[in-house]
Copies of this chain bind each other. A is one copy, B any other.
Amino acid sequence: MTITAAVSGASGYAGGEVLRLLANHPEIEIGAITAHSSAGSRLGELQPHLLSLADRTITETTAENLAGHDVVFLALPHGASAAVAAQLPEDTLVIDAGADHRLEDPEAWFKFYRSEHAGTWPYGLPELMLDGGHRQREKLQGARRIAVPGCYPTSALLALVPGFAAGLLEPQDVVIVSASGTSGAGKSAKPHLLGSEVMGSMSPYGVGGGHRHTPEIEQGLSNSAGESVTISFTPTLAPMSRGILTTATARVKPGVDGATLRAAWSDAYGDEEFIHVLPEGQWPATQMVLGSNNAAIQLAFDEHAGRVIVSSVIDNLTKGTAGGAVQSMNIALGLPEGAGLAQLGVAP
What residues of chain A have their CB less than 8 Å away from a CB belonging to chain B? 13, 16, 20, 23-24, 42, 44-45, 47-54, 173, 175, 177, 179, 181-183, 185, 187-191, 193-205, 207-210, 214, 230-232, 234, 236, 238-243, 245, 247, 249, 251, 276, 278-279, 282-292, 294, 296, 298, 300-305, 307, 309, 311, 313, 342-348
Contacts and interface: CB of A to CB of B under 8 A. Distances in A.
7 contacts: A49-B288, A181-B196, A182-B196, A183-B196, A196-B241, A207-B283, A232-B307
A298 B205 CA distance: 11
A301 B201 CA distance: 24
Nearest to A276: B51
Contacts of A181: 196, 200
A290 B191 contact: no
Contacts of A49: 287-290, 292, 344-347
Contacts of A245: 202-204, 236
Give the 6 A-B CB pairs with smallest separation, nearest first.
A208-B300, A201-B287, A203-B285, A195-B198, A49-B347, A189-B189
Q: Which of A53, A175, A347 is most buried by chain B, counting CB atoms within 10 A of its CB?
A: A347
A177 to B, nearest CB: 4
B199 A240 contact: yes
A242 B196 CA distance: 8
Contacts of A278: 44, 48
A49 B243 CA distance: 13
B44 A282 contact: yes
B179 A238 contact: yes
A348 B13 contact: yes
Contacts of A302: 207-209, 232
A290 B346 contact: yes
